[in-house]
Amino acid sequence: MLKLTAARLARESFSQLARVPAGRQSRDRSRADVPVGGRAVVMAMAAAMDGFGTEGLDFPTETSLEQWKLEHVARDIYRRSVASARIREEEDPTEECVACEGGWEASVAVLHRETHVAYLTKSLRHLSAGHVVLDASRCWLCYWIVHALALLGEPLGDDAARDVVEFLSLCQHPDGGFGGGPGQMPHLAPTYAAVACLAEIATLEAVECVDRAKCVAFLARCKDTSTGGYRMHEGGETDTRGCYTALAVARLLGVGSDAELRDGVGAFVAKCQTHEGGVAGEPGAEAHGGYTYCGLAAAVMCDSAHLMDLPELTHWLAHRQGAVEGGFNGRTNKLVDGCYSFWQGGAFPVLELASGAVLRAMGGAEGGAEGGADRRAGATRERRRGAGNEGGEGNEGGEAIASDASSNAACALFPAAQLATQPTRKTNTAGSNVFATPSFSSRALQGWLLLCCQLPNGGLQDKPGKGRDHYHTCYCLSGLSVAQHWGGDGLVGPATNLLERTDPLVNVTEARLAEWTRLVAQLPKI
């Protein structure tokens, strides 16, 4: 049984980076060799950061400087947001957005739902000339836009739905699978994107668009029998992306239990797990957030999660959450990125599914997946009614309650320790209390996405200053849905922030997935 505490999930200390042992200078450069101007910049940043992360850093690197800059930007955004809310409250304490149960959060941590919908809806009909570089990602563009609209609860409309289905049919290859665009070779990545997009539409027309028999045959042709993994296309590279996309498509097409498709996948993924605990694209490569999600989800879908070191995986995932920013990065010593809100944040509910399967195999779990789903649905309803305050409030004195100091690390300044939560026991899908405390700060993640990643004119971005795009809009919203529904820390902001619930394994909204599954079940067996 996995028992994870905030103490085990403490952030990596920046004081360990570039440390020079006492009494010894670098053979390449001494401290005196650092340009005065460079030292002044570092010291100024250190002062701005209250000294965070500067202990023992004799020679700041470009990476560490970029990290400090981003932390400073995030802190400034959070401080200004709290200050703005306080000013508004002082000016008008009866103002609805301030006086409501959400408190300060409701006035600043607001999802700009209408502008996001406008941005996405326009993109369905018109894309700028710059999108020509994404000609091989046209199925992906359909998925990113349609899924994001589904998360926002925005109906696609019959005409738009038919147009999307018709376009995706043009991307389907005569021999099975989908290419990135019309006339392009079949590839597992756009095949997943096309099928997941059709699942979000979930009409009979969308279901009948897929030639299921030929698509399954394409999946079989991509199987690498020598490794147990999947090639991204016939004759292409074998990696964990192929494992995930193939099994996710099989699951959506109702053939997820096919033994031939699942055979060897778990063993291949286990070989891709690194010494860090994360998962690489292939054995011997570096652990990466996207590959970790894909590998873990693939292992769960083929009932092979027991082959992985789940405690180490969880430890690695938890360390990817920024101590100041609240978002996730994809690799060690990299900057946080909005898209990893799903690739890393979404891995936690998948990890719960994995640990639940292991417990059931050991005979230690009570109840089943259905019971766990019912409990989660009940918790969602409670959050809707309570405007998101359950389990996420500070104590009466304004001090956050946490199991230890490190549990507050990821949400230290969003704002002034108010994002920390009381340790809670979470019930996984197997019905067993696996996690003693939240394994990541979902409130800090929500704060990062709402205040640092979304743009008032619509769309979401990688990080402040990067600019919006459909990819980050889709996965930032997917991560926000995960944080709201699976985090266990309560909803940040007003009740109107609540997104539709996404399925963590295939990243299709649960309501549309249920309808799609019903329609697929009515079709003849392949």
Q: Rounded to 5 degrees, what are φ and ψ at 147?
A: -65, -40
Which entry of 138, 472, 485, 501 is annotated as an active-site residue? Answer: 472
Which entry of 271, 331, 375, 466 is annotated as an active-site residue? Answer: 331
What is the pLDDT, as a whole number, of residue 62?
85
Active site includes 173? no
Which entry of 339, 452, 474, 476 is annotated as an active-site residue? Answer: 339
Active site includes 470? no
Active site includes 288? yes
Q: What is the pLDDT along the chain (526 residues), one digit of tens a residue?
A: 333 333 233 233 222 222 223 333 333 333 333 333 444 444 454 454 444 455 545 567 888 889 999 999 999 999 888 887 676 666 555 444 333 344 556 668 999 999 999 999 999 999 999 999 999 999 999 999 999 999 999 999 999 999 999 999 999 999 999 999 999 999 999 999 999 999 999 999 999 999 999 999 999 999 999 999 999 999 999 999 999 999 999 999 999 999 999 999 999 999 999 999 999 999 999 999 999 999 999 999 999 999 999 999 999 999 999 999 999 999 999 999 999 999 999 999 999 988 877 777 666 544 444 344 443 444 433 433 333 333 333 322 222 222 232 233 333 323 322 333 333 333 333 333 333 345 789 999 999 999 999 999 999 999 999 999 999 999 999 999 999 998 877 899 999 999 999 999 999 999 999 999 999 999 998 8
What is the pLDDT, as a whole number, of residue 27?
32
Active site includes 469? yes
The full set of domain ranges for the chain reads 113-521
Q: Rounded to 5 degrees, what are φ and ψ at 371?
A: -60, -40
How crowded is residue 196: how many other Cβ atoms within 10 Å of its Cβ? 25
CATH class held by domain 113-521: mainly alpha
Active site includes 244? no
Active site includes 443? no
Which entry of 116, 139, 452, 469 is annotated as an active-site residue? Answer: 469
Active site includes 33? no
Q: Which 8-state DSSP code applies to residue 10?
A: P
Q: Which of 198, 285, 188 is nearest to 241 (CA)?
A: 188
What is the pLDDT, as a whole number, of residue 15?
25
Which entry of 239, 462, 489, 503 is annotated as an active-site residue? Answer: 462
Q: What is the DSSP string of 367-432?
A: S-HHHHHHHHHHHHHHHHHTTT-TT----TTSPPP-SSGGGGGGGTTTTTTTT------EE-TTSS
Active site includes 139? no
Active site includes 302? no
